[in-house]
Structure 1
């Protein structure tokens, strides 16, 4: 009888322990899933926050150079959409070393080494990308860089003053982007496509109207 009583009590105790263990495991599972959900939400929220900050920085850069680009359009006929897209592409949103330290938004080179910085750059030559060193212009501010870019489109180079006139005379931003490539502004064969993609993604074409 004593043994049977012990067995009954033991079984009852075991059942109680099992129930507590199951309850504990269930609680742990709930807590874990809640924590996982919170972490996922945090990661998602953090990613969205980071994306929002990036978009905010991009829009800030566009708004920074927009007024000068619009003025250059009124004076020289350089489309703001193309001018801004070039600045974005060439300077990596103003964060390249050339832009951040020397206010050169367009990768303008120069033979005047007294007002230049020697830097490495990538050039597409004979079907492949190569690294070269060259002298690049140094500007006091980004406004000076934008104005110099506009004057280049109008005045051209020493060997061809009308070199970039097709860019100004283009009827659309697509034609202007293509004209830059054909005029030899950049060696990248995908340069026109990259400009058009930037213009359309950020709707820069809406600035190609007189103020």
Structure 2
């Protein structure tokens, strides 16, 4: 009797069951080896034909695995893609934040893939300061358009100081994209107009003011009164527009025009 088995007793006659565990193990190992050998042989002689949909899409199991991995990553992370256009974004926009006529907040384009990130990053518009205007650039601009401003005052009753301050503010003294590329020195009035030359922009702006706000012609006693009336007319959506004009006039002595 084997050491690993115990005799089985019956009611009438005693029977002894003996199991040779070593022999059983050898047979199982032999049969298992034959099965593995047969499986390898079949695999080596069988041509794998992928499913029809994989053939049409030219996919392999490796590519399917990569796609599944990418899908898993994207489902586990929140994607935040924000595109915002500032003053100089698409085409000809309103004057830059620096001149205060554009109310759009410039934002950076961000691609965030941090888990739990649901807010977009944006930049705060800088506080306008008249001292940020380059003095030499402004002086050159004033010398260039001084006669034009005086002509517009005579023809349209627009104070030359106010007209010059508007041009400096809206065109950034001729440096704004609208002025350099489209000769539009007053983009706050119209962002889509293109002119053949700068003089056409000045004259077109005067005609536009005269057509839209005819009552301004009766407020030309002095530039302060005219600017106050312009503020009330709704010409600009910037609530500080009139104050900015006054600061430019004082900073660069435009009242002498």
TM-score, normalised relative to structure 1: 0.55
Shift in Å at residue 167 of structure 1? 5.4
Of 121, 146, 159, the match for 2:202: 146
Structure 1 segments, 4+ long, off by >6 Å, are: none
**Structure with the greater relative contact order (CA < 8 A, sep ≥ 6): 1 or 2?**
1
Q: Which residue of 2 aligns with 1:103?
A: 183
Where structure 2 has 5 or more consecutive residues not aligned to the other structure, the ranges are: 1-130
For 2:192, what is the secondary structure of its paired residue?
strand
Deviation at 1:152, TM superposition (A): 1.7
Q: Which residue of 2 aligns with 1:94?
A: 174
Match of 2:164 in 1: 84
Change (3 A) 1:167 1:201: farther
Report matched runs for 1:1-211 at 5 Å. 54-107=134-187, 135-156=191-212, 163-166=213-216, 168-207=218-257
Distance 1:206 1:168, change over 3 A: farther
Measured after TM superposition, the shift of residue 139 of structure 1 is: 0.7
Deviation, 1:66, is 1.1
Scaled by the length of structure 2, the TM-score of the pair is: 0.45
Question: Cα–Cα, structure 1 residues 168 and 96, in superposed 2: closer, same or farther, change >3 Å?
Answer: farther
Q: Distance in 2 between matches of 1:146 and 1:170?
A: 18
CA positional deviation for 1:192:
0.6
| RMSD between aligned residues | 1.9
**Alpha-carbon shift at residue 180 of structure 1 (Å):** 1.4
Cα distance, 1:153 vs. partner?
2.3
Q: Measure how far apart 1:177 and its partner are.
A: 1.3
- Bigger Rg, structure 1 or 2: 2
State how far apart, in whole Å, the 1-side matches of 2:163 and 2:189 are: 17
Cα distance in 2, alignment partners of residues 108 and 66 from structure 1: 21
State the SS of the aligned residue for 1:205: helix
Contact 1:98 1:107 in 2 (8 A): yes
- The alpha carbon displacement at 1:168 in A equals 5.0
